[in-house]
Chains A and B, each alone.
Chain A
Amino acid sequence: MIVLGIESTAHTFGVGIADEEGRILANINAIYVPRGGGILPREAARHHFLVADKVLRRALKVANVKLRDLDAIAIALGPGMGPCLRVGALMARALAVKLNRPLVPVNHCVAHIEIARLTTQSQDPLVVYISGGNTIISAFAEGRYRIFGETLDIALGNFLDTLARELGLPQPGVPQVEALASKGTKIIELPYIVKGQDMSFSGLLTAALRKLKEGIRVEDLCLSVVEYAYAMLAEVAERALAHTRKKELVLTGGVARSKRLQEVLRQVAEEHDAVFKVVPDEYAGDNGAMIAWTGVLAFRHGITIPIEKSYVKQRWRLDEVEVPWRS
Chain B
Amino acid sequence: MEIIRLCVISKGAEAIIFKELWYGIMVVRKVRIPKKYRSPMLDLVLRRQRTSLEAKLLIEAKSLGVPVPTVFEVDLDNTYILMEFIEGMRLRDFIPKMPLDERIKSFTQVGNSVGRLHAHGIVHGDLTTSNMILTSSGNVYLIDFGLGMFSSELEDRGVDIHLMLRALESTHAAYVEECFKAFLKGYESVMGVKETRKILNKVKEIRSRGRYVSERRVR
Contact = CB atoms under 8 A, between A and B. Distances in A.
A262 to B, nearest CB: 11
Contacts of A151: 211
A234 B211 CA distance: 20
Nearest to A231: B38
A314 B213 CA distance: 11
A152 interface: yes
Interface string A273-317: 000000000000000000000000000000000000000001111
27 contacts: A152-B209, A152-B210, A155-B211, A187-B41, A194-B147, A195-B163, A196-B125, A196-B147, A196-B166, A227-B38, A227-B42, A230-B38, A231-B37, A231-B42, A238-B35, A238-B37, A265-B37, A267-B36, A268-B37, A271-B36, A271-B37, A315-B214, A315-B216, A315-B217, A317-B212, A317-B214, A318-B212
A316 B217 CA distance: 10
Nearest to A155: B211
A187 B42 contact: yes
Nearest to A317: B212
A192 interface: yes
B14 interface: yes
Nearest to A239: B13
Contacts of A231: 35, 37-38, 42, 46
B13 A238 contact: yes
Interface in B188-219: 209-214, 216-217
Interface of A: 79, 134, 150-153, 155, 187, 189, 192, 194-196, 227-228, 230-231, 234-235, 238-239, 241-242, 263-265, 267-268, 271, 314-318, 320
Contacts of B125: 195-196
A195 B209 CA distance: 14
B214 A196 contact: no
A228 B43 CA distance: 10
B46 A196 contact: no
B66 interface: no
A234 B216 contact: no
A130 B172 CA distance: 30
Contacts of A192: 46
Contacts of A187: 39, 41-42
B12 interface: yes
A196 B211 contact: no
A244 to B, nearest CB: 12
Contact of A242 (B13, B46, B214): B13
